[in-house]
Amino acid sequence: MKNNKIIFILLASCAIWMSCGNDKEKATSKPPKVEEKAWVKAPSFSSDSAYAYIQAQVAFGPRVPGTQAHKDAGDFLVGTLKSYGAKVTEQEFDAKTFDGVELRLRNIFASFYPEKKKRILIAAHWDTRPFADKDTERKNFPIEGANDGGSGVGVALEFARLLEREAPANVGVDIVFFDGEDWGELNDGPRTQPIDYESWWCLGSQYWSQNKGGYSAYYGILLDMVGSGKAQFNIEETSNKYAPKVVERVWSTGQKLGYGQYFINRVQPAILDDHVFVNEKARIPMIDIVHYDNESGYFGDFHHTHQDNMDIIDKNTLKAVGQTIVQVIWNE
């Protein structure tokens, strides 16, 4: 995820973005209501399995691009997706970080039931932060990223396992794991502008959004920091701007399933995350399910610290997010 400095980026609407970790003006608008369909029976999402997938990632060590742990974890993701019957494409590309490191990055794209024309896209980033710049100790060491990176991937992998056994009736599903999301500028470092990208953050989604070929999807759901026991998922403002009907569908479904303590009807300030580039460059309406602490206006005391480990991962949160997504997609 992003550092906690405010990032101002001029949008067509002159809206103010906020980089992950900063509070700004509180938005009060809510997404429009959409007509509710009769529910179909959806399969059960296993939080135990999602938890195990997070453990498996963390066991490789910090998945920092350019390291052996990163390569091994990427190979694990590709192999796991293929084992569930997905058609997997690896998109390799070069990028330079804010501190001048040249990286070879890899986006991983998996397609389930590609014969179906109506597509839903599930996204997460799979790399981890190379610095614990919000910590008080070992600030220059990489974090494990159990929540920030690992949790979204874990939920998506369990969803892939479900798709092997059962297909939603009306849609096909694609999963994309973006690389190079978390090597942005340091917490208290200077702000600079890259030449080839719009931001030092979200390198994988920026590249994919402009090099996706003819791919399109009906809508997308980004999963970012979806595993903490303290998780609260407000309605992120950019999501509400580009995909209000999808926001309403997901939040109302989560609440109807009994997960209202997670899916909160409160619009939070916009953040710079992978969904921004998918919306604006790929032209695919995508929402962001992302943890936000209302009291601190922040992303938790574990964000970009060494506390981001398996100790903060809660199976109840994984269940709430995973089951909500399953129900939404099965109800298409």
Nearest to 27 by CA among 214, 323, 268, 197: 268
Q: Is the pLDDT score of 23 beyond 70?
A: no
pLDDT 10s digits, 243-264: 999 999 999 999 999 999 999 9
pLDDT 10s digits, 54-71: 999 999 999 999 999 999
Lowest mean per-residue pLDDT among 20-24, 201-205, 304-308, 323-327: 20-24
User: Which pTM does this prediction carry?
Assistant: 0.89
Average pLDDT over residues 231-240: 96
pLDDT 10s digits, 152-175: 999 999 999 999 999 999 999 999
Residue 13: what pLDDT?
Answer: 39
Residue 39: what pLDDT?
Answer: 87
Domains, the chain: 47-330 (3.40.630.10)
C-alpha 246/C-alpha 244 separation (Å) is 5
324 neighbors 259 (Cβ within 8 angstroms): yes
Nearest to 176 by CA among 190, 197, 159: 159
Q: Is 175 helix (H, G, I), strand (E, B) or coil?
A: strand
Q: Is the pLDDT score of 3 beyond 60?
A: no
pLDDT band (50, 70, 90) for residue 4: very low
Joined together, the tokens standing for residue 291 give 């943890």
pLDDT 10s digits, 33-53: 545 568 899 999 999 999 999
Q: Is the pLDDT score of 134 beyond 80?
A: yes
Residue 17: what pLDDT?
Answer: 37
Q: Is the pLDDT score of 178 beyond 90?
A: yes
pLDDT band (50, 70, 90) for residue 20: very low
Task: Determine what percent of the chain is predicted with pLDDT higher than 90.
Answer: 82
